[in-house]
Structure 1
Amino acid sequence: MLFMDIMTWDKKDDMELGKRYEEWKYPKGYNVIAEWSDLSSCRVFVVYELENAEAYMAATCPWRDIIKCETIPVMETQKAMEFFAKLV
């Protein structure tokens, strides 16, 4: 299943976030499909597939002190439309 995280932080944490990100490696089981930075604010978007809940925890827990993470289950729009068509 695919998920999208919207991660936001306070501008005062920019330097700390940058320092940590230089060393960051996503954990096994957290398979990143795409990652984008919002150039107008302190926000990043990550689309990924998870192998298990432990991978999610390993990816998000180290950032809890400086990042707010909103996790959203997502599906490609065409696939979602096909799925909804079968329901009606």
Structure 2
Amino acid sequence: MLFLSTSTWQPENSQEVIDHFKKLRPPAGVNIKNQWVDISGGRYFILYETEDSKAFAEFNLPWSDVCFIDSCPVMESTEFVKLMSSREG
């Protein structure tokens, strides 16, 4: 399953967040698809895939001391349209 996470942090935590990024190593079972940084500051976006709830937690929990993470499962819009079309009777 694909997840899109948005991490936000307070300006005073910027250096700690940068230090975390330098050490970013996803656990087994997490496949990072892409990452983006809001160049105006304070936000980071990451798209990754995992089927393992333990790996999901291992990937996200270490950040909880320096930022807030909002994650949601996502799918490509073409796949969503196919799914919804197949449900129509």
Please tell me the TM-score bracket, short chain as reference. Answer: over 0.9
- Is 2:29 the counterpart of 1:29? yes
- Corresponding residue for residue 62 of structure 2: 62
With the length of structure 2 as denominator, give the TM-score of the two structures.
Answer: 0.92
Counterpart for residue 20 of structure 1: 20
Q: Deviations over 1:14-64 (max 9, x none)?
A: 111112221221111111011111112311111111130111111111110
Equivalence map 1:1-88=2 (5 Å): 1-88=1-88
After TM superposition, give the deviation of residue 8 of structure 1 in Å.
Answer: 0.7
Number of aligned residue pairs: give it: 88
CA distance in 2, matches of 1:3, 1:18: 22
Q: Kindly provide the amino acid, as one letter, of the partner of residue 47 in structure 1.
A: L
Secondary structure at 1:82's aligned position in 2?
helix
Q: Which amino acid aligns with 1:67?
A: C
* Residue type at the aligned position of 1:3: F
Taking only the aligned residue pairs, the percentage that are identical comes to 28
Report the RMSD for the aligned CA atoms in angstroms. Answer: 1.0
Structure 2: tracts of 5 or more residues without a match: none
Match of 1:40, SS state, is coil
Task: Give the secondary-structure state (helix, strand or coil) at the position aligned to 2:69.
Answer: strand
Moved over 2 A (4+): none
| TM-score where L is the length of structure 1 | 0.93
Counterpart amino acid of 1:70? D
Unaligned runs of 5+ in 1: none
